[in-house]
């Protein structure tokens, strides 16, 4: 912890992201227990043909509310709690050892200035700080066009919506590297797959996905 960080934690002591009580781990043990009882906590790794996907939660209940708060209610501080879920989980840490670089799913500059932060950047950076092997790189994968909100679209429309929305800057940095792509929620996978394709086409060796939650609702 540097001087500024210790000053900040003195003025704003770390709190549990769920109940708000002071807690140095950003999530208290009783909220952890409650989350586990909701049966949304299910750290899982799925292997598709070309890509592996690791997520911690089913997108439902308390965690769904917290993700929505984090994205839309000016609650950047919650990134600490979310990154704890990853770096404290052995299964996730073993999975992350297969990769060299962590890249967040990007937003356009316009969207970032509206929200004030990119929720994926904050968590991806914190995961890299807390794992020894991952380098955090931002502004490598960039979003080059504004897209419609995915949540109102069906699966086919989602794929079309994000088509060619991303590009790679500074190709050399990812050549022959194993990349982990971080997103908050996995729904149809349209965004993740488009980003992964863009990264692979630029010469990366492999791409894996890491998300907080997977949404199991059926989208046509
Ligand atoms: Zn709590």
Kindly report the CATH number assigned to the domain that includes residue 158.
Answer: 3.40.50
Helix (H, G, I), strand (E, B) or coil at 130: helix
> Could you tell me if residue 146 is inside a domain?
yes
> Could you tell me if residue 116 is inside a domain?
yes
Q: With residue 122 as reference, give the H or E element that holds it.
A: helix 119-130
The answer to whether 134 and 96 are in contact (CB under 8 A) is yes
For the chain, list residues with pLDDT below 50.
none
Condensed to tens digits (0 to 9), the pLDDT of residues 35-91 reads: 989 988 888 888 877 789 999 999 999 999 999 999 998 899 999 999 999 999 999
> Could you tell me if residue 78 is inside a domain?
yes
- Distance from the CA of 36 to the center of ligand 1, in angstroms? 13
> Could you tell me if residue 13 is inside a domain?
no
Angstrom distance (rounded) from CA 84 to CA 173: 27
pLDDT score of 1: 65
Q: Which residue segment(s) compose the domain that 103 sits in?
A: 42-214
> Could you tell me if residue 109 is inside a domain?
yes
Whole-number Cα distances in Å, 107 to 32, 116, 162, 167: 30, 11, 12, 12
Angstrom distance (rounded) from CA 150 to CA 19: 30
Please enumerate in sequence order all residues whose Cβ is within 8 A of that of 160, keeping only pairs 6 or more positions apart, or say none: none
- Distance from the CA of 30 to the center of ligand 1, in angstroms? 6
- Distance from the CA of 63 to the center of ligand 1, in angstroms? 13
pLDDT score of 80: 95
Residues having C-beta closer than 5 Å to ion ligand 1: 16, 18-19, 28, 31
- Going by the DSSP 8-state scheme, the letter that residue 138 receives in this structure is -
Which two tokens mark 69?
A: 């708060």
- When divided into structural domains, the chain yields a total of 1
pLDDT score of 48: 76
pLDDT score of 131: 92
> Could you tell me if residue 200 is inside a domain?
yes
pLDDT score of 147: 87
> Could you tell me if residue 28 is inside a domain?
no
Pairing mode, strands 52-58 and 41-47: antiparallel
- Distance from the CA of 107 to the center of ligand 1, in angstroms? 30
Angstrom distance (rounded) from CA 52 to CA 200: 14
> Could you tell me if residue 29 is inside a domain?
no
Q: With residue 193 as reference, give the H or E element that holds it.
A: helix 190-201
């Amino acid at each position: 912890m540097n001087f500024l960080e210790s000053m900040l934690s003195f003025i704003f002591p770390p709190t549990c992201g769920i109940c708000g009580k002071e807690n140095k781990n950003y999530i208290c043990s009783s909220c952890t227990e409650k989350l586990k009882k909701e049966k949304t906590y299910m750290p899982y790794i799925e292997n598709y043909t070309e890509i592996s996907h690791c997520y911690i939660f089913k997108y439902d209940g308390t965690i769904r509310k917290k993700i929505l708060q984090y994205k839309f209610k000016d609650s950047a501080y919650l990134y600490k709690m979310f990154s704890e879920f990853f770096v404290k989980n052995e299964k996730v840490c073993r999975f992350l050892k297969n990769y060299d670089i962590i890249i967040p799913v990007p937003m356009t500059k316009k969207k970032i200035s509206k929200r004030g932060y990119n929720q994926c950047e904050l968590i991806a950076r914190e995961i890299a700080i807390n794992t020894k092997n991952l380098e955090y790189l931002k502004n490598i994968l960039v979003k080059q066009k504004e897209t419609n909100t995915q949540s109102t679209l069906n699966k086919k429309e989602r794929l079309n919506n994000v088509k060619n929305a991303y590009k790679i800057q500074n190709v050399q940095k990812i050549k022959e590297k194993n990349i982990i792509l971080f997103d908050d929620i996995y729904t149809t996978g349209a965004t993740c797959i488009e980003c992964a394709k863009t990264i692979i086409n630029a010469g990366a060796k492999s791409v894996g996905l890491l998300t907080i939650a997977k949404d199991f609702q059926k989208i046509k």
